[in-house]
């Protein structure tokens, strides 16, 4: 991973998280790269249709310290294309929607939670809009 020039983020102590994100954001700015985050921290499995788990603060902290916007990307529910119990995919079209960037300018670090919640809600609305009705496998 070091050969790929990865940036390692420790999931340890919350007390050192802010300093770690400051260092990581400086490295990102120096490399002029973008980061792809899954803000839920893990995949959610929802039997009743598309949904999102609560967001973790990491992506927003990194964007805050890097002084860059968060660009939400929504991928439709792919329940109809993939059966995780049988490990197969039928193939098909996957809809992806890029939402408007979310500016963090002028915010304090303590103000990120409401922005995260609004971003999650707008992503959830879009997820439900672009996802087809589920087919029972």
Q: What is the DSSP string of 91-126?
A: -----EEEPPPB--TT--GGGHHHHHHHHHHHHHHH
3-state secondary structure of 47: coil
Task: Tell me the per-residue pLDDT of 22-57, one tens digit each, with 9 for 90 and over.
Answer: 788 888 888 888 877 888 876 677 778 888 989 988
- The rounded distance, in Å, linking the Cα atoms of 4 and 36 is 15
Q: How far apart are the C-alpha atoms of 98 and 10, rounded to whole Å? A: 28
pTM: 0.81
Render pLDDT for 3-14 as a digit per residue (tens, 0 to 9): 556 666 655 655
Name the nearest CA neighbour of 37 among 60, 11, 67.
60
**Could you report the per-residue pLDDT of 96-122, keeping only the tens digit for each?**
999 999 999 999 999 999 999 999 999
Provide the 3-class DSSP secondary structure of residue 83.
strand
Closest CA to 119 of 34, 57, 46: 57
User: Cβ(123)–Cβ(52) under 8 Å?
Assistant: yes
Q: Counting beta carbons within 10 angstroms of the beta carbon of residue 134, is it exposed (0 to 12), middle (13 to 18) or buried (19 or more)?
A: middle
Q: How far is residue 25's CA from residue 10's CA, in Å, rounded to a whole number?
A: 13
Determine the pLDDT at residue 82.
73
What is the pLDDT at residue 3? 54
């Amino acid at each position: 991973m070091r050969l790929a020039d990865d940036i390692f983020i420790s999931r340890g102590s919350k007390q050192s998280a802010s300093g770690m994100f400051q260092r990581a954001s400086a490295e990102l700015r120096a490399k002029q790269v973008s980061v792809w985050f899954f803000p839920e921290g893990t995949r959610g499995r929802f039997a009743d249709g598309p949904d999102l788990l609560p967001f973790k603060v990491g992506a927003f902290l990194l964007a805050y310290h890097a002084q860059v916007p968060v660009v939400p990307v929504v991928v439709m529910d792919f329940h109809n294309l993939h059966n995780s119990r049988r490990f197969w995919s039928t193939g098909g079209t996957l809809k992806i929607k890029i939402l408007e960037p979310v500016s963090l300018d002028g915010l304090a670090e303590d103000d990120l939670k409401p922005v995260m919640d609004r971003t999650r809600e707008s992503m959830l609305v879009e997820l439900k809009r672009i996802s087809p009705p589920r087919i029972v496998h």
